[in-house]
Amino acid sequence: MMVQPEAVLKCNPNVIIAVTWNLDPHAPNATQYCEGIINSIRSNPVLNQTAAVKEDHVIVIPGYLTEGPPRYAVILYIDSVLWPNIVHVNATNVLNQYFSEFLTTAEPGGVWWCSG
C-alpha cells in the first residue's frame, strides 16, 4: 500500500519504516538499495519536514520481516536499530536464530535493515 506524503506529514511520525519486497539481504548491493530508498524519503519535500527524517529515524526493512518472525522480534529489532543506547540487545542475532531454526528455506544474515 502506498501512503501519500501529505498524510504522513499530517501525522508527523517520529519513525518512518519503509517496507520493500525487493530487498534481498544477501545481495551485494543491498545496502546501496536501502540507502537509495532512504535518500528518496529525505529528498521528498513533504517527508523531509517530518520528525522522523529530521531525527534520522528512517528504516528500510524487507517485506518478509512483516510476515515471518513473531512481532516481538521485529519490534525488538527495530527498537535496537533506532535506540541502540537504550535497547541493549543484538536483535540481528535474534532474527538470525529465528530464520535458522524456523525458516529452513531462508538463510540467516545479510542486510536486514538500513537506517538513516
Q: How confident is the model at residue 22 (pLDDT cuts 50, 70, 90)?
A: confident
Q: Given strand 114-115, what is the order of strands in its sheet? A: 16-20, 58-62, 114-115
- Domain-wise residue ranges, the chain: 5-115
Q: Name the 3-class secondary structure at 17.
A: strand
CATH code of domain 5-115: 3.40.50.1980
Q: Is the pLDDT of residue 10 over 60?
A: yes
Instruction: Determine phi and psi for 22, rounding to 5 degrees.
Output: -95, 0
pTM of this prediction?
A: 0.68
